[in-house]
Structure 1
């Protein structure tokens, strides 16, 4: 086998690989000898089929496998010898259009090599970590929101009409074609108007009723209603209104705290404070991470593989186009032009991606099975009822696994750099943090 360099410009590499007919024939014979003990053929005992017959019967099929394995072996040996790491899958193709069995095989291989990443003095990087304490005002606001979600209902004054959002306590009896039906009656039933918990069109007819009113509500069951004998039929519900109640926020006290699993109000406030500060810390980390990436981008400069930059720029342009055209869900749209700003952003992302990958490799940063499982479970929750199918899909899809592993790996490398960099805490207000986060989104 002969490997000859044909191109070496910057990161671009090109090679010509020649596999002789003799080498291929030897590889075919090796594979046939390996398979011979298991081959059965009419007229011969298992494992006793002559090599000449094996070659006649299976030679063509084995030849293709031998050719692929030989070329793959040559490529692997080349990368091991040179230390090159291709930026993307190498372009490999036969150059003999009229190749026939018995000829040497000539193959061209081209790729862009990943660049050498320069060393970075991580200890020379200075960063600020924004620290926000949960103020009493923010805790009280969160408590008020919790009280709203735990709302109760208080009786309206006599004669007041029900409004959307009120609770109506009633007895009702439903009939179809004048006959009561199973499940169509209840007593002292509390219904919140606007909750859409009843048949469409029912609740709207109760807006304006008062205590002691009797109201007939006429509705039609949906065509796809689960009870087939009622599907699509018109029903009349006679509703006897017993009470009309308006919503009131729950009182902020120990009783409210126990509804949310806390021992008392003081414990609930403490939990809210911890949750708020965790949210602030997450936002502050995003700001600190951007500052780190900016610092790294300023410190490093190296040649970038054009193929990676072009692919990244294309993805950026495609994503931004869909954000500007949300009505287009699929990919049936005109070709999207990659602009200079897309390429500039792509260069930054590729440069930082290669740098973080290099830092992570040298620091032996790894994504554990437990971290991957947790990430898959978190994403699976977005598909209620299909969690198991999603989990199995990810397990069987290497590309999906890589997409989920990449951000976890990046965050672990970022945390590693945070530990080495000079980080100083800066106590700020919630508003200051919010402005810093908004500034990130505008860039």
Structure 2
């Protein structure tokens, strides 16, 4: 871990916490990109628009991140709370401004035992296992790897400037300039038989409720959404839109990556098809094409091909892929001949469905990458050079005068400017 120690007493606190964190958007694509930059495999972030079972249960989320707009006057709980169960939860306090997005994400991920965290986060988890929430917060804030991954998603290129805190109230004239939407992120995760609320500004993890136990296997995380749902309803009620004209919160879910699942499904169908066609060839040496669906036979040439992978076998992602393939091969070897054509039809149909999901995920990934480039690319040098070139060619004044009109009284060209919006656009900031 990169925790910098300072020899100067004036800046010792800032140096100990580490460099500044930038503001990032509460967008599922941004969080998914952050997961990948942190080295986490097999997961993505999606937005949930309803917390009812029909909207969440099919997702099987590993954890949730609740983003809400808060005010400067909200208080945090800094009192000592004795909770032995909370001590088993990996929880880090937020010690850096605007780092709440990464803190909420890490507080959830490092409590998910079956998630592939990657080398860097696994080392952080092991190194901070016996530390207090404050020391874990120092480990997160002082990690250059985490900070660089976080800041790479900021809307402006380059490291953010250090901010100096002040308790002075802005004057009335400066109210518009200081009017900011302050957003905060908190996590929810099932761990150690309970559901926990993980707010980096609180002293410790907060228990939401207990999980149901299964006979012989202890607490299960399958129904954890039923436990967290009442707490989410309360949060949403508190932060519902009031005087503003927009929703003041959104909910993100950390789920298994759909592309990996769909890609493995398609790869499994490729191998299943080969095994079935070998059996069909043995059972019908004179030809088996007339035994299967004509429509599916015509579609089979394209059903197993995607824009990224050919119809030949590719590398799977799941660790248990080989074991599942062997089980399926044994099923096909024991299958009755009369059932082989039906199984081949079902295989092609499943491949077509998997291909649709794969292509949708590829398109979504391309769109996310495009948005990331648009958000983080620094256009200022290009714009500056473009204006300089227009000036050198004598085109700048002509371009600026295109939107001018004549004032009859002053006989001077008056540049038309758009009317100012009522009120300044409020800036968004994480706390």
Query: What range is the shorter-chain TM-score in?
Result: under 0.3
Specify which structure has the higher proportion of strand.
1
Greater gyration radius: 1
| TM-score, scaled to structure 1 | 0.21
| TM-score, scaled to structure 2 | 0.21
